[in-house]
Amino acid sequence: MTEDSSNNENALATFDEIVEQYSDFVYNVAFRMMGKPEDAEDVAQDAFLSAYRAFERFRGESRVTTWLYRITVNAALMKLRKEKKARTLTRTGLEDVDLADWTDVSDRFASNSELGQKLMDGIAMLPDDLKAAVVLRDIEELSNAEASDVLEISVASLKSRLHRGRVLLRKHLDEFLTVKS
């Protein structure tokens, strides 16, 4: 066996271990970006295919999860751009913001499946760049630095996208929460 084929086999074994260890992680990120199980499966498959193609260039300078976040988010964004959903939340209306104060909304809404579905619908309608920021920060709970690294943008840009995404989601959820509370 040549040294190159031995290295390839070691790399394959390592990549197989990454797939085995992180498949749920990649699927969950994909699902949160896409909102549908079948789309998430497609994105996860595309992400691992891209990761496999780029595996020999992965130098370990970042964590495996950061590397996989970046690849998965990019795969999701590519799929979303291809499909380009007809409905998107795009008007922030910052000039006419008159949102209800949600600080007194009961904790019962936190586990309310109707609210959860309304929130997921709102996330699905966000423009792709805002959706990625909201998913990585608010759902995946990455730090600002980690999320900006995954998206390859500055922390300031991330914060701006996150703010715009949250404002759009609040407007989307505002009527639901004021009627329910």
Check residue 107 and give its pLDDT: 46
Check residue 5 and give its pLDDT: 44
Domain ranges of the chain: 3-83, 94-180
- Residue 101: band (very low, low, confident or very high) from pLDDT cuts 50, 70, 90: very low
Contact predicate 130/165, CB 8 Å: yes
Check pLDDT > 80 for residue 21. yes
| C-alpha–C-alpha distance, residues 165 and 90, integer Å | 9
Check residue 90 and give its pLDDT: 55
Per-residue pLDDT of 136-164, as tens digits, reads 999 888 999 999 999 999 999 999 999 99
- CATH number for the region 3-83 comes to 1.10.1740.10
Angle between helices 144-151 and 64-83 (to 10 degrees): 60
pTM of the predicted model as reported, rounded to 2 decimal places: 0.64
Whether the CA torsion 106, 107, 112, 118 is positive or negative: it is positive
User: Of 84 and 173, which is predicted with more confidence?
Assistant: 173
| C-alpha–C-alpha distance, residues 59 and 62, integer Å | 8
User: Of 68 and 91, which is predicted with more confidence?
Assistant: 68
User: Of 21 and 98, which is predicted with more confidence?
Assistant: 21
Are 3-83 and 94-180 the same fold in CATH? no
Check residue 96 and give its pLDDT: 47
At the topology level, CATH places domain 94-180 in: Arc Repressor Mutant, subunit A (1.10.10)
